[in-house]
Each structure stands twice: as C-alpha cells, then as structure tokens.
Amino acid sequence: MAERPILLFDGDCGFCTKAVHTAVRLLDTDTGITPWQFADLDTLGVTAERADREVLWIEPGAAVVHGGADAVAHLLKQSPRRSWRLAGQAMAMPPLNWTARLVYRAVAMNRHRLPGGTAACSLPAHLRPATRDGA
C-alpha cells in the first residue's frame, strides 16, 4: 500500500488528465496522482469499473475509498494552503456536498464534450480503442 494518499483518475481522458494535473499544481499537495490504467487496482481495493466512473481518493491504511466530489474534497483538504483546505472542508458538508456531487456527476457524464475530452471518454474503458500495448 502507498505511504501517501493517491488520487486515481482516468488517464485516457485528456480533460481528466489536465484537470487533475492543474489541481495538484495549484494545490501544492504531496498527493500521488496515478492514472487508474497503470495502478494495481487489486492492491488498492478498487475495481476498474469504479475507477473508470469517477476520480478516487485512497488513503494509506484506510478502509474507505472516496469517489467523485468526495475525492475532490479530500484532495482540497490536503493542500498546505488554508484557503484550499477550508474549501475542501466546506465541500464535504451539507448542503454544499449535495451540490458538489451533482456538479461532479454532470461534468463526469459530459467530459467527452469538455476541452481535452474525446469521444472515447464517453465509452466504458473496455470499449475504448486500444491506445497502448495491452490497453
């Protein structure tokens, strides 16, 4: 298991890749970011189906894996910058967390339409054209 938190994202999606890298740069966090396609999902305790559906936050030794807007809130709370931590805390509390989940779901369902997204982003991973050996 990892020694620091890991954020798993869809490395086949240009929008997801750009969003995650931008967030990590802005947040100045020591979080490990890994495309789920290159992660040992069994060791991390997640399925490919879930990892393909939403960004995932995995803490070392924790039994719970957080997904979607909850994962984003955890990422924000990891920042050394107080403003980002406060935003993450607020995002985790009702009623803001309800709104965050709705917005996250809308973005996830339409990521193929967003800048950097491709038609392949709208397909489940097992139906996407192979882009690498074994993918």
The Cβ-side half-sphere exposure at 65, using a 13 Å CA radius, reads: 17
The DSSP letter of residue 120 is G
What is the tens place of the pLDDT at every residue in 67-105?
Answer: 999 999 999 999 999 999 999 999 999 999 999 999 999
Is pTM beyond 0.75? Reply is: yes
Residue 49's contacts (CB-CB under 8 Å, 6 or more residues apart) are 124
Q: In this structure, are strands 32-35 and 6-9 parallel, antiparallel, or unpaired? A: parallel
- pLDDT band of residue 121 (cuts 50, 70, 90) is low
Higher pLDDT, 121 or 77: 77
